[in-house]
Structure 1
Amino acid sequence: MEKKPLKTDFYIQHLYIYVSEADRMALFSGFGFGHFLEAVDMPENLLLLKHPYEEASFNMHTHLDFATSEEYSQLKRARSNRRSEFCWVDFRSEKQLNSLTAQEQAELLYLGHKKEPVKSPFFTTLQNEYVYLAGEEKEWTKIYFRRMEKLGALIANHFTQIIRKETNGQHFFRRRMRDLIPELPKEQFHKLRMDMGEGVLLSLADPEKTKNTIELHVRTVGEIDFMDEFWEDLGETIRKPLSGRIVYDRKQKGWK
């Protein structure tokens, strides 16, 4: 527990996560498509259920748009520049799209409209790894994982990217490549899965303020109904005691 309440400027990044293990789903706030692109090995193609990308290809069988991996940077820009719902599932080849049954197509349309599956979010024909569902306001992103172990890797990669970008420009951390801060171990987040089932806020402390360490603070905050109010009251939230912390000690060159 901190000796005195922390201020919001003590942190440079926050991420809210609520996990439903039974549904193989994680609800994020403070996490967008650009973050997703940087944090995972992206699938080959995305079937776009709701989207702002005007240059998408059109599949005649489903009457739905899709985008290939070569277009992901344009898709990211379109998502950033326009207010729009953004929902997709991944697939490997257009042959899979052309094999979708009427029932599967109906379930996909429901998924994009209601932001929840009729039955399973994973389709036999598509063999999709993810379902990505985001609202127009960008306050939340719901992601279904075929394999939940990918959640830990996603979070670890996300914060590793932020830490490296942040510390690269600071004199204290400016080192040769061999001294590059190592990746956050995904096992750290596997341990937090139970806490995530209650809703957690992960907060990355400003390295300039923590000096010899890099610290990711964990607070159990519960399931949030209104994300806009949650972020408005962030100052009050971060005064709550920590549930845990993940620390990189530069002298020992390791995470703990």
Structure 2
Amino acid sequence: MDKKPLKTDFYIQHLYVYVSESERMALFSGLSFAHFLEAIEKPENLLLLKHPYEEASFNMHTHLDFATREEYGQLKRARSNRTGEFCWVDFRSEKQLNSLTAQEQAELLYLGHKKEPVKSPFFTSLQNEYAYLAGEEKELTKIYFRRMEKLGELIAHHFTHIIRKEANGQNFFRRRMKDLIPELPKEQFHKLRRDMSEGVLLSLADPEKTKNTIELHVRTVGEIDFMDEFWDDLDETMRRPLSGRIIYDRKLKGWK
């Protein structure tokens, strides 16, 4: 890219994404459970395979806990306040839980324990859209998508939410940004899927520093084995050249 890379403190948000298309899976670092819920159409219920939520309901058929949509606020707080594994799959009704076979229940327990499926992370009885698998340290989250197009929607909504949240407390472009800036187009992230299969870092530049533009910078960084070391060495990563840039231009009033 022709522009000199920005320094680390010129960014307000980073998200690491590595995608395995064959597994319909993405690894994220920098995406919390709260971020995830803000960016998707919320499921009716979550079957909790590993969790910190003490007020969860109990299903007699599976002997597993679950949380309803009305409890997600409490579940987010429980997750943010504690370390520990956090794994779940979504479902629509308890009737679906009660129809799980012994084999499916065994596969769910394996999924929560090993953070990988025996055969598939998607269950006939549940018709789940996601399998969300996070380890103890919160540094890496593995998410399986029944429909991979949901990946682009998730990332687009995530960054749009951050931009609009920042705009609430700042005077970007001298007017409220959320009244000016349209939703980040999910198609931009569909185009990045090949790059994501190599591992990318998506970094949102501070609009107060880039002035007339909002810029999301893309760096291909590869598959990362130790995320704590990766974040510790972020200054070095920021010196790498950009492999892409998604920009909102004030004059054109659109993303490009």
TM-score range, shorter chain: over 0.9
CA RMSD after TM alignment: 1.3
Aligned to 2:77: 77
2:123 is the counterpart of 1:123: yes
Aligned to 1:189: 189
Aligned to 1:159: 159
Cα offset for 1:57? 0.2
Amino acid across the alignment from 1:207:
P
Structure 1: which 5+ runs fail to align? none
- Aligned pair count? 256
Deviates most, 2-11 or 188-197:
2-11
Aligned to 1:33: 33
Query: Whole-Å Cα distance in 2 between the matches of residues 50 and 241 of structure 1?
Result: 39
How does 1:209-248 map onto structure 2 within 5 Å? 209-248=209-248
Q: Secondary structure at the match of 1:152?
A: helix
For 1:133-159, what per-residue CA distance to the aligned partner results, in whole angstroms no more than 9, with x for missing partners? 001110011100000000000000000
Aligned to 1:56: 56
Cα offset for 1:179? 3.4
Residues 241 and 122 of structure 1: is their aligned pair in 2 closer, same or farther, counting only changes over 3 Å?
Answer: same
Residues 133 and 254 of structure 1: is their aligned pair in 2 closer, same or farther, counting only changes over 3 Å?
Answer: same
Query: Whole-Å Cα distance in 2 between the matches of residues 214 and 33 of structure 1?
Result: 25
Query: Whole-Å Cα distance in 1 between the matches of residues 178 and 162 of structure 2?
Result: 19
For 1:150-195, what per-residue CA distance to the aligned partner results, in whole angstroms no more than 9, with x for missing partners? 0000000000000111123222334268833110000000000000
Deviates most, 173-182 or 125-134:
173-182
For 1:108-136, what per-residue CA distance to the aligned partner results, in whole angstroms no more than 9, with x for missing partners? 00000000000000000000000000011
Q: Secondary structure at the match of 1:237?
A: helix
> 8 Å contact 1:29–1:140 — kept in the other structure?
yes
Query: Whole-Å Cα distance in 2 between the matches of residues 176 and 114 of structure 1?
Result: 46
How does 1:139-154 map onto structure 2 within 5 Å? 139-154=139-154
For 1:45-87, what per-residue CA distance to the aligned partner results, in whole angstroms no more than 9, with x for missing partners? 0000000000000000100000000000000000001112100
Q: Secondary structure at the match of 1:12?
A: strand
Q: Secondary structure at the match of 2:138?
A: coil
Query: Whole-Å Cα distance in 1 between the matches of residues 224 and 129 of structure 2?
Result: 26
Structure 2: which 5+ runs fail to align? none
Aligned to 1:20: 20
> 8 Å contact 2:164–2:178 — kept in the other structure?
no
Amino acid across the alignment from 2:166:
E
Query: Whole-Å Cα distance in 2 between the matches of residues 96 and 242 of structure 1?
Result: 46
Aligned to 1:173: 173
Query: Whole-Å Cα distance in 2 between the matches of residues 3 and 148 of structure 1?
Result: 32
> 8 Å contact 1:167–1:174 — kept in the other structure?
no
For 1:28-47, what per-residue CA distance to the aligned partner results, in whole angstroms no more than 9, with x for missing partners? 00001000110000110000
Amino acid across the alignment from 2:215:
E
> 8 Å contact 2:172–2:207 — kept in the other structure?
no
Amino acid across the alignment from 2:59:
N
